[in-house]
A and B are shown apart, each in its own frame.
Chain A
């Protein structure tokens, strides 16, 4: 039987290799054809009309797509939810590899953009005149989508971090809102002591949250210069983070509940998870997912690593990019521009998105918005303040999607075994170095 299989497989292989070679050839043909075109082409393309396929999971885009179609009746926008986060990137990567089926516009989170820019698989929007938006967007998101003079995407939203806390629980146990992470640890102890069912927060190891807090603490573990990459989780910022967080883990002060699970929503609703340090997009999720706790929660600035500081960091947020394999790039750019700037951006902010545009962040209507969920608090003032104070010069790896996918394999050990966070981060670093070298980068530690 084995011989049979072998012979047959070899036969099949011969056929398929031919097929595969053809396939690869097709693939490169399709993805190589890119061209430069200026703003004029965009106007002409809008005149001519056509279809734009947009892959995005951001709910507020639905309204924007309708508005766009109304404004340009000849253009047909097809909004497709092709999966959330890495699922969509996989689909995108596959479509690019296959040479067909790629969308005209794709939502890409800031942390994942490097994967597409390094392979030059997204358009440089500077050739469409995107450079002029340099002052339109807040600096954090703009830095994330630009590299030297190239603009690889336009920022769609942002996630400056803030501290969400359950005021009812805090008041009941007489806890003060922490302004530093040391006070935060104290609060965690006090809360858990007052009621063993209450935890200051949940944490089962989340790459996004960890890197954001290291970012806030001043750590800059990643440096990318072309194909030269540095990964170093030994800097001072990282050490500040691990020292504090290790205490929380050692004393079992954070609940072992994964974010976004039903248990997590339950904990946020019943007060057993008392705080969240998370991006400013969170209010929409609280309002819909934890409706029963409306009025209990408040927002405060993120606790600081040094007393008196005002430093913040970004957590999440995404951009709209135009793949090189897009069929109608001019229209794609037109839609991207429409959805991320001007009226489109404002419409999305009204619908609950957190803006990456300065104008919206500074508008009076935005700042004065009272959140009934937060007991009438004008929470946007805190978020806007946070957006202004995001630490400079952060960068992600060009293969951050993969790095994040193995975060729990390495750093995750610190949550379920005697491994320390420092050791876990070291393992994460090693794995990242190995992968990077395998992929042809020059990686330094």
Chain B
């Protein structure tokens, strides 16, 4: 993996490369002069500190504090969610939002959330898992294949593909919902898992990401060498390209998973049978239940359910994140 950039760089030049040498010296002189003037005083101060390298600078307290404000902003609502998942219906109504009520109902809430209405929450959880595995998994496969093709082969219509993808994405999905629904209905797909899975298979951003990633990390020379050795295109893809594409693949998988896990509007239109609801739709149904005659208000279950909905995706993200991060680093930092 670490060889990818170097070998690629030694290969055919990029169109912009020739431009650089001509423009460079002049530009550099200019910048150098400015940079020197601008940084002199700071450099002088820094001398007193232990030496550091640009790659390994000293942590800064002020910068950490300022960035910490953003951290507080992002974590506050999550803290609210966790705190309020410990309250029962009465506690929710009576106590201060950002602090715990007198007695904790956390485990009780979780138990009730999982068992409410014959354990329908668990069913929704399993549905969501199905949609994520099939939808996000499939989306990743399609994006990897497509991105690889766009980056590696010069086939007619190549450029048009992305233009069309971008153009199509610009049309608001809410209004396409009815045509899509009517089409799917005619194919007998509505109210089945397919109605959620098939549209989830397309991730335009995933395609873009894989395209860029494949262009960067799969050197043409390697593929060419494999061809000369008589390797078929598929075999070349699986044995040579795919391993190189892994970090990008994990990234696309991660984002597709989040998108599928959080999918709301599509199932809202396609699925009418609560037995096939994903979690987001189920939670919304619980929310709507408080608004009907004879319905039971279950805000406590909605809050606990929301927390339970977030936990798995966060966990998966954290697990994949480490892998993804190392992959990214491997792809970028050379020895």
Residues of A that sit less than 8 Å from B by CB: 1, 4-5, 8-9, 19-20, 22-23, 26-27, 55, 57-60, 80-85, 87, 91, 94-95, 97-101, 157, 159, 259-260, 262, 265-266, 269-270, 279, 281-282, 284-285, 288-289, 291-292, 316, 352-354
Question: Known contacts A82-B272, A84-B288, A265-B93; is A159 also within 8 Å of B178 by CB?
Answer: no
Chain A contacts for B320, CB-based, 8 A? none
Q: List the 6 shortest-distance A-B pairs measured between CB atoms, nearest first.
A: A289-B297, A98-B185, A281-B293, A260-B291, A82-B272, A284-B294
Query: Is A4 within 8 A of B183, CB to CB?
Result: no
**Cα distance A138–B268 when bound, in Å?**
36
Chain B contacts for A84, CB-based, 8 A? 288-289, 291-292
Chain B contacts for A292, CB-based, 8 A? 90, 93
Query: Is B273 within 8 A of A80, CB to CB?
Result: yes
Chain A contacts for B94, CB-based, 8 A? 270
Measured between C-beta atoms, what is the minimum distance from A49 to chain B in Å?
22
Query: Is B293 within 8 A of A55, CB to CB?
Result: no
Query: Is A97 within 8 A of B297, CB to CB?
Result: no
Query: Is A265 within 8 A of B290, CB to CB?
Result: yes
Chain B contacts for A259, CB-based, 8 A? 291
Closest chain B residue to A286 by CB distance?
A: B297
Query: Is B299 within 8 A of A265, CB to CB?
Result: yes
**Cα distance A80–B276 when bound, in Å?**
11
B209 CB within 8 Å of chain A: no
B182 CB within 8 Å of chain A: yes
Query: Is A4 within 8 A of B163, CB to CB?
Result: yes
Closest chain A residue to B293 by CB distance?
A: A281
Query: Is A26 within 8 A of B186, CB to CB?
Result: yes
Question: Known contacts A4-B163, A81-B274, A94-B178; is A281 also within 8 Å of B186 by CB?
Answer: no
B221 CB within 8 Å of chain A: no
Query: Is B93 within 8 A of A270, CB to CB?
Result: yes
Question: Known contacts A80-B274, A97-B182, A270-B93; is A289 also within 8 Å of B292 by CB?
Answer: no
**Cα distance A270–B90 when bound, in Å?**
10
Query: Is B288 within 8 A of A100, CB to CB?
Result: no
**Cα distance A97–B89 when bound, in Å?**
42
Measured between C-beta atoms, what is the minimum distance from B150 to chain A in Å?
15
B68 CB within 8 Å of chain A: no
Select which of A81, A99, A262, A354 is within 8 A of B92 by beta carbon: A262
**Cα distance A159–B294 when bound, in Å?**
12
B119 CB within 8 Å of chain A: no
**Cα distance A60–B190 when bound, in Å?**
27
Chain A contacts for B89, CB-based, 8 A? 291
Give 24 A-B contacts (CB < 8 Å), ordered by A residue. A1-B159, A1-B163, A4-B164, A8-B164, A9-B164, A9-B167, A19-B183, A23-B186, A57-B295, A59-B294, A84-B289, A87-B268, A91-B272, A98-B185, A98-B186, A100-B188, A101-B185, A101-B190, A265-B297, A265-B299, A284-B295, A285-B297, A289-B297, A352-B294
Chain B contacts for A22, CB-based, 8 A? 186
Residues of B that sit less than 8 Å from A by CB: 89-90, 92-94, 159-160, 163-164, 167, 178-179, 181-183, 185-186, 188, 190-191, 268-269, 272-274, 285, 288-297, 299
Closest chain B residue to A317 by CB distance?
A: B293
Measured between C-beta atoms, what is the minimum distance from A27 to chain B in Å?
8
Chain B contacts for A291, CB-based, 8 A? 89-90
Closest chain A residue to B299 by CB distance?
A: A262
Query: Is A269 within 8 A of B93, CB to CB?
Result: yes
**Cα distance A284–B290 when bound, in Å?**
11
Query: Is B93 within 8 A of A266, CB to CB?
Result: yes
Chain B contacts for A159, CB-based, 8 A? 293
Closest chain A residue to B182 by CB distance?
A: A98
Measured between C-beta atoms, what is the minimum distance from A319 to chain B in Å?
13
Question: Known contacts A4-B163, A4-B164, A8-B160; is A285 also within 8 Å of B185 by CB?
Answer: no
**Cα distance A270–B94 when bound, in Å?**
8
Query: Is B183 within 8 A of A100, CB to CB?
Result: no
**Cα distance A100–B185 when bound, in Å?**
7
Select which of A91, A94, A285 is within 8 A of B182 by beta carbon: A94
Chain A contacts for B191, CB-based, 8 A? 101
Closest chain A residue to B188 by CB distance?
A: A100
**Cα distance A100–B188 when bound, in Å?**
8
**Cα distance A84–B297 when bound, in Å?**
14
**Cα distance A94–B191 when bound, in Å?**
13
Measured between C-beta atoms, what is the minimum distance from B157 to chain A in Å?
9
Query: Is A23 within 8 A of B182, CB to CB?
Result: yes
Chain A contacts for B285, CB-based, 8 A? 81, 83
Measured between C-beta atoms, what is the minimum distance from A360 to chain B in Å?
15
**Cα distance A289–B295 when bound, in Å?**
9
Closest chain B residue to A8 by CB distance?
A: B164
Query: Is B164 within 8 A of A5, CB to CB?
Result: yes
Measured between C-beta atoms, what is the minimum distance from B270 to chain A in Å?
10
